[in-house]
Amino acid sequence: MRRTRKNSIFSLMSKPVCVVLLLVSVFGLVWLRSSVTSAAYTIRELEDKRSAELKEMKTLLAERSRLMALQNIELPGQSYSGGEKKLVSGGYVFPDRVKVIHVQRAKGTDVYRASYQPGEQR
């Protein structure tokens, strides 16, 4: 069998290439492992940040919940006139049922029309 020039160059190059590939693989694996570890550290740092943000969010939610309590909404609206406590605008005022207007939804998709009395001419 005749050894060609091409075959001889390939066999000459194959060993160093294999060695280089082996080295690259070894260092690649080391690099990959260290990258994964450093990513795990970074994730943990982000988790800690998230945890801190969640803590703050819980505090803010608690504050919002406290402020939204009905007694806090109504109190700013109270005023005293003539020794009598009255509710003024700004606070929570329960609707006067005598003046409550009930609206009945009409069937279908037609345009709604309103009347204060049934059958009232408009």
Residue 54 tokens read as 């969640």
- Residue 122 binds another protein (CB under 8 A): no
- Residue 16 binds another protein (CB under 8 A): no
Which residues in 30-49 contact another protein (CB under 8 A)? Answer: 37, 40-41, 43-45, 47
**Phi, psi (degrees; rounded to nearest 5) at 90:** 110, -35
Considering the complex, what minimum distance in angstroms separates the CB of residue 34 from another protein?
12
The size of the interface with another protein (CB under 8 A), counted in residues, is 44
End-to-end CA distance of the chain: 112
HSE at residue 118, side-chain half, CA atoms within 13 A, is 2
From 81, 89, 104, 121, residue interacting with another protein (rule: CB under 8 A):
104
- Residue 116 binds another protein (CB under 8 A): yes
Q: In the complex with another protein, which residue's Cβ is closer, 4 or 115?
A: 115
Written as one letter, the residue type at 77 is G
91 beta partners:
89
Which residues in 62-91 contact another protein (CB under 8 A)? Answer: 62, 65-66, 68-71, 74
Contact 101, 115 (CB under 8 A): no
Sign, CA torsion 11/13/15/21: negative
Residues binding another protein (CB under 8 A): 37, 40-41, 43-45, 47, 51, 54-56, 58-59, 61-62, 65-66, 68-71, 74, 94-98, 100-108, 110, 112-118
